[in-house]
Amino acid sequence: MTGASAAPQGPDGRRRCTWALGTPDLMAYHDTEWGLPVRTDRAMFERLSLEAFQAGLSWLTVLRKREALREAFAGFDPRTVAGYGAAEVERMLGDARLIRSRAKIEAVVGNARAALELQEGLAAFVRGQAAGPERPAPRTDADVAAATPESAALAKALKARGFRFVGPTTAYAAMQATGIVDDHLADCFRRGSRG
């Protein structure tokens, strides 16, 4: 793609990753959150949980249900969620505002319990397991990986500690969302904003 920009211009003239221009919700998420560093356990637990909910769904579906998910999962506080039992799961399965997948809901509850067992904390654990070489900036959407050796290693490490719904693709999506890797397109205005 010699001389041409891969990142399209948004309505404000800024170049953005292609996926971000689908809806105002996606653009706001891209511009204010995606790819920025996440350092707290609670924030990392939320991102891993949301990525688990996305399995088989569009990100927009998850994004639009995010506030209801936050409410149902006590702001994604791992200590609170770890105490959830059958009654809370059944309540969530009956709530049309949520993604009503028993397997995903139960995985989030189990993942909260697993997160509390990590001595160094979830955020430090994920960042430590996912470290790898810096990759070249993607020029086009085709240059963005769905999974990497690092995400496979992270998924394996999480599963070994009792986490579910954390395969290599989900782990990589979490790595992208939390600034562990910078997959903004090379000419996206957010490229390099991981801090």
Secondary structure class of 139 (helix, strand, coil): coil
Q: Give the Cα separation of 168 and 165 in Å (integer).
A: 10
Active site residue 120: no
Q: Is 36 left (phi over 0), alpha (psi -120 to 50) or beta?
A: beta
Task: Residue 28: name the closest of 41, 40, 11 by CA.
Answer: 11
pTM (two decimals): 0.93
Active site residue 84: no
Catalytic residue among 19, 33, 34, 51: 51
The tokens of 27 are what? 């653009």
Which stretches of the chain are DSSP H helices? 24-32, 41-54, 59-72, 78-82, 86-93, 102-116, 122-130, 149-160, 168-177
Catalytic residue among 29, 34, 84, 172: 29
Active site residue 51: yes
Q: What is the CA radius of gyration of the chain?
A: 17
CB 167 within 8 A of CB 152: no
pLDDT per residue, tens digit, the chain (195 aa), is: 344 568 899 999 999 999 999 999 999 999 999 999 999 999 999 999 999 999 999 999 999 999 999 999 999 999 999 999 999 999 999 999 999 999 999 999 999 999 999 999 999 999 998 877 888 999 999 999 999 999 999 999 999 999 999 999 999 999 999 999 999 999 999 998 765
